[in-house]
Chains A and B, each alone.
Chain A
Amino acid sequence: MIQCTGIEKSYTDKKVLSGISFDIPDGQIFGLLGPSGAGKTTLIKILTGQLEFEEGSAMILQKNVRRLSGEDKKKIGIMMDQFGVYERLSCYDNLKVFADIYGTPKEKIMETLKLVGLEDSAKKPASALSKGMRVRLQLARVFMVSPEIIFLDEPTTGLDPMTMKQIHKIILDKKKHGCTIFLTTHNMEEAAKLCDTVALLNEGVIVDSGAPDEICRRFNHQKRIVLHLNTGEDMELPHSKESAEKISKLLEEERVETIHSSEPTLETVFLELTGRKLEEE
């Protein structure tokens, strides 16, 4: 449903996206992971027809993104971090503007507010909402149509764990209803929890992609056994015969306080591939 082939994009002399290619099948959640400035938002803008690009092709709903019609746009929901809300209007009136534009029945406004847990704040002006509630209002605006594809640009950045969990629930619920979701994040836990497929983006280039588990398995050489010794010292050992013997010896000497296995994560994979942390700001 979303296809990208060899996308290239530059701002003046600086290349911000290079050779971006992927396919996202219907009904999947695709996560684009990368640190700030990696090109995630630029790619969303390209895929939603907001931004021109120099080379390659991008297709959504089997159509070139450069030729999306008004009807096509009704099938695409976009929530971007920079998108604002009408501060002085109530939550209800904010959604009503878009319900009118899309020709959505009025009853759906309250239904949608309920879906995102804002039914009790329907009459509150948007300026009185907390950051989490504001994100939910933006999500509600996306759902004023019944989108087939949803683009979410860092939907949970800066939110508390409780609100984050609520947003994740809404996203998974939409997936259950058949939506294809394109999500950008620099939170690897979020990506591992929600996404069927992820692509790791660094400085405009996809450095790896696949299912989160599959990517981590490819980097199994990162697996470590971590020992915390009663001297307060931590010891990391690779999976090997020598390590087993060393651990056995330490156990016999009663020097081990805790022992656990450290698996590769998307964060450590990204670090190995790029030398950068995902959440560096």
Chain B
Amino acid sequence: MNNILIMIRKQMKDTFKNKAVLIQLILLPVVSFILERVIRPEGVPELMYTKMFAAMYMAMAPLTAMSAIIAEEKEKNTLRVLMMSNVKPGQYLTGIGAYVWIISMIGSVLFAVSFPAADMPFFFLVMGVGFLISIVIGAVIGITAKNQMSAGSVGAMAMIILSFIPMFAMFNEGIGAVARFLYTQQTRFLLDAMSFAEIKWDGAVILAANAILAVVMFFVAFRKKGLE
């Protein structure tokens, strides 16, 4: 069996026994699902909670899952066993990345049910792209972290920057000026517009620049530390 599929399957089995990760994956979608139906103050735009939480989820779930998995395997030396068993670093990272992307997409289905059916393809496309960038950033943290604890602290910091700055930008213009350079803010704009026609060139450039920066950081980290 292909080593990438073996990594995905291993991780799937592990997730169902790992309550901490399971909660992390379903908490935000469930909270937004409930809030959207229970609390609707006057003047609040439709689907505000869903869009806000979806953008936060995009930065939180894949980033922490990816960094935590790599850091745990490094710390417990199961990663070394895999490498000694002829699993290539690329196969491992692709397998784990694919797994995180799949479960994040499954989590985003819980957000998607709040949208009209016609908006779903756009929503999944935006989320899918955002997840990919977060996964690469999560891999950088996992590769560079010495252990699970340092992956957790660095991951939490990255998560706060990427998910909370766009949220605060809603209430403060100064923060908004900085936040627009983050892919999470750009994807939030896209979710607000919910239309291919509304994609602006500067937003697309910022998204691409974020993606390129994440990939460059990944290669620098991998070249420097490998999967040791």
Which residues does A use to contact B, with CB under 8 Å? 48, 50, 70, 73-74, 78, 80, 82-89, 93, 97-98, 100-103, 125, 141
Q: Flag if A73 contacts B85 (CB, 8 Å).
A: yes
B81 cross-chain contacts in A, Cβ below 8 A:
83-84, 141
Q: Give, as a whole number of angstroms, the nearest-CB distance from B147 to chain A.
A: 13
Q: Flag if A73 contacts B13 (CB, 8 Å).
A: no
B77 cross-chain contacts in A, Cβ below 8 A:
80, 82-84
Q: Flag if B85 contacts A88 (CB, 8 Å).
A: no
Complex Cα distance, B227 from A50, in Å, reads: 12
Q: Flag if B85 contacts A48 (CB, 8 Å).
A: no
Q: Flag if B78 contacts A86 (CB, 8 Å).
A: yes
Complex Cα distance, B85 from A137, in Å, reads: 16
- Having A84-B77, A97-B10, A100-B9, one finds 19 other A-B pairs with CB under 8 Å, namely A73-B84, A73-B86, A78-B84, A82-B77, A83-B77, A85-B78, A86-B10, A86-B14, A88-B17, A88-B18, A89-B17, A93-B13, A97-B6, A100-B6, A101-B3, A101-B85, A101-B86, A101-B87, A125-B17
Complex Cα distance, B86 from A93, in Å, reads: 18
Complex Cα distance, B10 from A82, in Å, reads: 21
A125 cross-chain contacts in B, Cβ below 8 A:
17
Residue total for B at the interface (Cβ-Cβ under 8 A): 19
Which residue, of A82, A85, A100, A141, has the highest number of chain B Cβ atoms within 10 A? Answer: A100
Is B1 among interface residues, defined by CB-CB distance under 8 A? yes
B1 cross-chain contacts in A, Cβ below 8 A:
100, 103
A102 cross-chain contacts in B, Cβ below 8 A:
85
Q: Give, as a whole number of angstroms, the nearest-CB distance from B13 to chain A.
A: 6
**Which applies to chain B's interface (DSSP): helix, strand, loop or mixed?**
helix
Which residues does B use to contact A, with CB under 8 Å? 1, 3, 6, 9-10, 13-14, 17-18, 76-78, 80-82, 84-87
Complex Cα distance, B13 from A141, in Å, reads: 18
Q: Give, as a whole number of angstroms, the nearest-CB distance from A223 to chain B.
A: 44
Q: Give, as a whole number of angstroms, the nearest-CB distance from B148 to chain A.
A: 12
Q: Give, as a whole number of angstroms, the nearest-CB distance from A95 to chain B.
A: 12
**Would you list 22 pairs from A and B whose C-beta atoms are within 8 A, ordered by A residue?**
A50-B80, A73-B86, A74-B86, A78-B84, A82-B80, A83-B78, A83-B80, A83-B81, A84-B76, A84-B77, A85-B76, A85-B78, A86-B14, A88-B17, A89-B13, A97-B10, A100-B6, A101-B6, A101-B86, A102-B85, A103-B1, A141-B81
B14 cross-chain contacts in A, Cβ below 8 A:
86, 88-89
Q: Flag if B13 contacts A50 (CB, 8 Å).
A: no
A82 cross-chain contacts in B, Cβ below 8 A:
77, 80
A50 cross-chain contacts in B, Cβ below 8 A:
80, 84
